[in-house]
């Protein structure tokens, strides 16, 4: 799997991080007593802000990795084209 594809999957995972957290807290609500629920509400509110920051940073990182990978790929193609042009000019045949 290319780094660009991995970065895309990472960004997708970051997008759903908040949804997954909300689902986990909802599952907890069903398992705890009414005395614990208010604390769970506070925990969810406080944690959600941090999760949003992590998700935002993760998405930005994934986009940067994907962009860098695409730039490297473009540079490789350009170099290969220039190399092939040099071989053609010298009339050297190489099978790739």
Q: What is the pLDDT confidence band of residue 96, given thresholds at 50, 70 and 90?
A: low
Q: How many CB atoms lie within 10 A of CB 62?
A: 21
- pLDDT value at residue 74: 73
Integer Cα distance of 14 and 55 in angstroms: 5
Q: pLDDT at residue 85 above 60?
A: yes
Number of separate helices (H) and strands (E) present in the chain: 3, 0
28-80 tens-digit pLDDT: 888 888 888 888 888 998 898 898 888 888 888 877 877 776 777 777 777 77
Q: What is the pLDDT confidence band of residue 95, given thresholds at 50, 70 and 90?
A: low
Pick the more confident residue, 39 or 89: 39
């Amino acid at each position: 799997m290319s780094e660009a594809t991995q970065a895309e999957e990472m960004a997708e995972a970051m997008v759903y991080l908040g949804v997954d957290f909300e689902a986990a807290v909802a599952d907890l609500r069903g398992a705890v007593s009414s005395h614990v629920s208010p604390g769970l509400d506070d925990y969810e509110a406080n944690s959600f802000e941090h999760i949003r920051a992590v998700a935002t940073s993760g998405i930005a990182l994934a986009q940067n990795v994907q962009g860098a990978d695409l730039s490297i790929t473009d540079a490789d193609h350009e170099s290969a084209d220039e190399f092939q042009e040099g071989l053609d000019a010298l009339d050297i045949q190489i099978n790739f």
